[in-house]
């Protein structure tokens, strides 16, 4: 199975991309939490156990699990000439500007991490100044600097593989991210979609070098013809315009409609998938908090360009029109405002559909989970005490590569 095939949110999931949370979480500190988009410091050992349980539950349901770190390692193993430019680009994008430090860090990584997998994991982890053993008498900066500080920041959000690149049908959007910290993550996507034999021929609908930001949590493949994209804290309308042009201009793509969902701009609802995910052919979970403010726009091709129309019908009717059947919206928290806010904060609406009516959910959202079960949905329940501290659920932690047609 080379390439990618994701033309639905619910059809049987065959292959999925994950990243096992690693030592990058050990470099989160109270002062860097806000900048690194965490609300607390997860206990790594337990976060890894929970993540392994997630991966195993997917395997038990017939899904092949592929890890981001392994794909990137394969790129470097199969293309040895890429190791040096990758490292140089990584160091530049980590904000290392002086020639002296660029060389110190390049030599440190290149000499101490001959094994490509170790190197890839180290780039994710970050580098503390204490590791570099610089000769302090050679530089004023080193002499006045704190002894222990991150010279290369960690990338703790990598376990949210949903966001930095996103499959759209048989193509991919390599995203320009909203935040500095997450923009560094897309370097792995750039190299995988340039060099990996399974992915190098996949059409690219967006580039990490574009100006406007867009993240995968806002991109939902409703069906072969219809894509939904959130206008959110993380995704700008200009990026959706550009994405629409590129998709409509790809003759191989059957997508003829993009629905832009304009959701409130705040951290609790950072992406469309934090408030809205599909769980069955005719069912969606939804955070009731978006129902008032939500506006939906229809984007279709017109000549060389696009046509945009605001839709006035209620959300159920809009979905019914494009999916071709009546649709039920199931409120997170069972409709109670307090339960809805609490459980949406811990990703109660952020489910990963493994097959129609079979979804992975966080264990902690018991009010929402009970409602889903009452509606006949089968749940694959994932332990979630530590993983949830990063503010993302099962959909955020997974990027489908292949769903059955
Ligand atoms: N699709 C998602 O909602 N992903 C969750 C991303 C959480 C991460 N801490 C972030 O703020 O980007």
| 263 within ligand 1 shell (Cβ under 6 A) | no
Quote the pTM value: 0.96
Mutate to test the pocket of ligand 1, among 396, 398, 400 (most ligand atoms within 8 A of CB): 396
Could you tell me if residue 314 is inside a domain? Answer: yes
CATH of the domain at 389: 3.75.10.10
State the Cα torsion 17-259-340-342 to the nearest 10°.
Answer: 50
* Closest-lying ligand 1 atom to the alpha carbon of residue 270: 3
- Choose the final residue of a domain: 107, 123, 152: 152
Ligand 1 centroid vs 396 CA: distance in angstroms? 6
Q: What range does the domain containing 259 cover?
A: 13-69+156-403
How far apart are the C-alpha atoms of 238 and 213, rounded to whole Å?
Answer: 8
The reported pLDDT for the residue numbered 305 is: 92
Kindly state whether residues 56 and 103 are assigned to the same domain. no
What pLDDT, in 10s, does the model give residues 92-135? 999 999 999 999 999 999 999 999 999 999 999 999 999 997 77
What pLDDT, in 10s, does the model give residues 61-75? 999 999 999 999 999
Per the CB < 8 A criterion, the answer to whether 274 and 163 are in contact is no
Give Cα separations from 25 to 38, 40, 67, 147, 233 (angstroms): 10, 10, 17, 20, 24
Would you list the DSSP string of 151-217?
EE---GGGG-HHHHEEEEBTEEEEPPPSSHHHHTTHHHHHHHHHH-TTTTTS-EEE-TTSSS---GG
Residue nearest to atom 1 of ligand 1 (CA): 217
Q: 37, 371, 396, 397: which is the annotated catalytic residue?
A: 396
**Number of domains the chain is built from:** 2
| 160 within ligand 1 shell (Cβ under 6 A) | yes
State the Cα torsion 264-235-401-254 to the nearest 10°.
Answer: 100
Kindly state whether residues 255 and 114 are assigned to the same domain. no
Low-confidence ranges of the chain (pLDDT < 50): none
Kindly state whether residues 97 and 162 are assigned to the same domain. no
What pLDDT, in 10s, does the model give residues 134-171? 776 677 777 777 878 999 999 999 999 999 999 999 99
Residue nearest to atom 11 of ligand 1 (CA): 37
ipTM rounded to 2 decimals: 0.98
DSSP letter, residue 299: E
- Structure token digits, residue 30: 């109270």
* Closest-lying ligand 1 atom to the alpha carbon of residue 397: 4
Catalytic, 396? Answer yes
Kindly state whether residues 235 and 261 are assigned to the same domain. yes
Contacts of 280 (CB under 8 A, 6+ apart): 10, 353, 356, 357, 377
Residue nearest to atom 4 of ligand 1 (CA): 396
The reported pLDDT for the residue numbered 133 is: 75
Ligand 1 centroid vs 182 CA: distance in angstroms? 9
């Amino acid at each position: 199975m080379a390439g990618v095939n994701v033309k639905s949110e619910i059809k049987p999931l065959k292959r999925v991309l994950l990243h096992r949370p690693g030592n990058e979480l050990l470099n989160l500190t109270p002062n860097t939490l806000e900048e690194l988009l965490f609300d607390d410091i997860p206990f790594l050992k337990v976060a890894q156990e929970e993540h392994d349980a997630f991966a195993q539950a997917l395997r038990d349901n017939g899904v092949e699990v592929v890890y981001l770190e392994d794909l990137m390692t394969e790129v470097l193993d199969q293309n040895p000439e890429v190791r040096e430019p990758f490292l140089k680009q990584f160091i530049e994008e980590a904000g290392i500007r002086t020639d002296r430090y660029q060389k110190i860090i390049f030599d440190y990584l290149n000499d101490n991490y001959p094994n490509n997998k170790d190197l890839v994991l180290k780039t994710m982890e970050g580098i503390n100044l204490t590791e570099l053993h610089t000769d302090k008498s050679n530089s004023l900066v080193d002499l006045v600097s704190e002894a222990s500080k991150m010279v290369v920041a960690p990338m703790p959000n990598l376990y949210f593989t949903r966001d930095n690149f996103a499959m759209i049908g048989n193509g991919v959007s390599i995203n320009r991210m909203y935040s500095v910290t997450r923009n560094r993550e897309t370097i792995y996507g750039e190299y995988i979609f340039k060099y990996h034999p399974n992915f190098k021929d996949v059409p690219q609908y967006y580039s990490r070098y574009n100006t406007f930001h867009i993240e995968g949590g806002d991109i939902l493949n409703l069906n072969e013809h219809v894509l939904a994209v959130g206008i959110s804290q993380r995704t700008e309308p200009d990026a959706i315009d550009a994405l629409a042009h590129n998709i409509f201009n790809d003759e191989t793509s059957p997508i003829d409609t993009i629905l832009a969902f304009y959701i409130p701009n705040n951290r609790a609802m950072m992406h469309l998938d934090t408030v809205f995910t599909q769980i069955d052919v005719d069912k969606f979970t939804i955070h009731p908090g978006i129902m008032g403010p939500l506006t939906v726009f229809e984007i279709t091709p017109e000549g060389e360009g696009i046509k945009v129309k605001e839709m006035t019908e209620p959300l159920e009717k809009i979905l019914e029109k494009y999916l071709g059947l009546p649709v039920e919206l199931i409120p997170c928290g069972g409709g109670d405002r307090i339960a809805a806010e609490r459980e949406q904060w811990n990703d109660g609406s952020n489910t990963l559909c493994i097959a129609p009516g079979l979804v992975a959910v966080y264990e902690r959202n018991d009010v929402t989970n009970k409602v889903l079960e009452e509606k006949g949905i089968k749940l694959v329940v994932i332990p979630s005490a530590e993983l949830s501290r990063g503010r993302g659920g099962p959909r955020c932690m997974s990027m489908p590569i292949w769903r059955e047609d």
